[in-house]
Amino acid sequence: MEQRKTDQVGVELKRLPHGEGLKLPHYATDGAAGMDVLSAEDVTITPGARHAVATGLSLAIPQGFEIQVRPRSGLALKHGITVPNTPGTIDSDYRGELKVIMINHGTEPFAISRGDRVAQLVPPPVTQARW
């Protein structure tokens, strides 16, 4: 099978003070579609509860792109932890901290530790409608 070159887009990133020392979002494998993003906080999400998990990052997404926040399938399958507004959209003009809205659909409290992988980020191009 012919291997296709993957497109790349540059995204400016600012590490916030509580994100110091954490790995930047990264692709786990060469074939990964999404970058793993890590939690910058310790938090426990009780069953049925939601929490906006801090990442300690602020992004400057180029105009014409968005960042989609997607759940990690293993968290959903094993623990019932997911991103309720999947995919979450980070617009190119948003400059605040990237937070991942997570919900616990499981039956047990779920602890997230600083440095845990909590979601995946995908930077697709944006097409706007005209009316």
Condensed to tens digits (0 to 9), the pLDDT of residues 5-53 reads 778 888 999 999 999 999 999 999 988 999 999 999 999 999 999 999 9
Question: Taking the model in full, what pTM does it have?
Answer: 0.91
Cβ atoms of residues 43 and 51 within 8 Å: yes
pLDDT tier, 3 (very low <50, low <70, confident <90, very high otherwise): low
Condensed to tens digits (0 to 9), the pLDDT of residues 52-97 reads 999 999 999 999 999 999 999 999 999 999 999 999 999 999 999 9
**Over 80: is that where the pLDDT of 2 sits?**
no
Could you please state the CATH topology (level 3) that the domain comprising 12-122 is classified under: Deoxyuridine 5'-Triphosphate Nucleotidohydrolase; Chain A (2.70.40)
pLDDT tier, 125 (very low <50, low <70, confident <90, very high otherwise): very high
**The two three-digit tokens of residue 24, written as one number:** 């930047």
Q: Where do the DSSP E strands lie in the chain?
A: 12-15, 35-38, 43-45, 50-60, 67-70, 81-82, 88-90, 97-104, 110-112, 117-122
**Over 70: is that where the pLDDT of 1 sits?**
no
Spell out a b/e string for 84-109, using b for 16 or more CB atoms within 10 Å of the CB, else e: eeebbebebeeeebbbbbbbbebeee
